[in-house]
Chain A
Amino acid sequence: MVTAYVMVKAHTGDADRLKREIGAIDGVVDAHIVAGDVDLIATVSVDTPAAVKDVAATHVQDIEGVESTQTYIAMD
């Protein structure tokens, strides 16, 4: 299994909807609204590194109101 953390920067104040839609993506374990330079952090747990890219680059970035994402893959 591969675990990754996806930092999501929004350009909308509609954080509830973003959290809901991100949380509904296959492979996303949980998503939290956070204070700071990014607006949400999602935890992703999938089978392969390629699937991480699929979740972050394809599904999360497709959501209306998502400005950008930054993904960190856990190494331990």
Chain B
Amino acid sequence: MLYVIVGAGRVGLRTARVLRESGHDVTLIERDESAIERARAAGFDVIAGDGALEETLESANLAEADALGALTGDLNNNFVACMIAKEHGCRTVMRIDEDYREEIYRRYASDVDEVIYPERLGAIAAKNALLGGNIRAIADIAQHLQLVEFTITDSAPIKGYSLSELELPANTRLLAHGKGDAPLDIPDPDETLDAGDHLVILADFDTLSDVRSIVVGESGPTKALGGV
């Protein structure tokens, strides 16, 4: 897959890296000389120019690209890049600069398929780090639905039971199980739950606290686990 990313700054360049690590082709568009050099030194194809101009975007082979990420710090440029890319049939992802705008762009900007607010994702990572090792919020799927990874501890009530014996609250699904350091996998009902195992659970926000006391054994408020 080919992806075009406008902006090779701290968000754009990192996104390009993770796309490349997943085996995708990436073309970056950047106008700042030092950012161009940094991206080229990292081995990326960089088109020097203004990503909000049609002629620059056209040289990025938009016809072949699967999607365009407009990831600069400039809201206007990001929006224009998405409009042009949409015209060329690309899926578009736009970075915004303030969280209240997420709703506005989702609703009104028909040329923008996805809206990204990097600070929100950073806040989720920081929250996970602050909460400590046993619980990791992966994503807010919907307003009341959260995807959470739990690590089973020595004091976890479910330790030693098999997956088929695990009884989760209503509106909750076990999606994946990983033995110790092994990669996560589809849950096998016969597997035993040991300390260090990981469980990925989709849960309604209201049941998170119950899930947590069953799986991890801690009590207390889980408010901090919610969305940001």
* A-to-B contact residues, CB < 8 Å: 10-15, 33, 35-37, 39
Contacts and interface: CB of A to CB of B under 8 A. Distances in A.
A65 B102 CA distance: 15
B101 A33 contact: no
Nearest to B82: A35
Interface residues of B, number: 13
B162 interface: no
A36 B75 contact: yes
Interface string B48-68: 000000000000000000000
22 contacts: A10-B104, A12-B100, A13-B100, A13-B101, A13-B102, A13-B103, A13-B104, A14-B103, A15-B104, A15-B107, A15-B108, A33-B104, A33-B108, A35-B76, A35-B79, A35-B105, A35-B108, A36-B76, A36-B79, A37-B75, A39-B101, A39-B104
B109 interface: yes
Contacts of B104: 10, 13, 15, 33, 39
Contacts of B76: 35-37
Contact of A35 (B98, B103, B109): B109
Interface in B141-190: none
Interface of B: 75-76, 79, 98, 100-105, 107-109
A11 B108 CA distance: 16
A29 B107 CA distance: 24
Contact of B100 (A10, A33, A36): A10
B130 to A, nearest CB: 26
A59 to B, nearest CB: 21
Contacts of A12: 100
Contacts of A14: 103
Contacts of B103: 13-15
Nearest to A32: B108
Given A33-B104, A39-B104, 18 more contacts: A10-B100, A10-B104, A11-B98, A12-B100, A13-B100, A13-B101, A13-B102, A13-B103, A13-B104, A14-B103, A15-B104, A15-B107, A15-B108, A33-B108, A35-B76, A35-B105, A35-B108, A37-B76
A35 B52 CA distance: 14
A72 to B, nearest CB: 17
A15 to B, nearest CB: 5
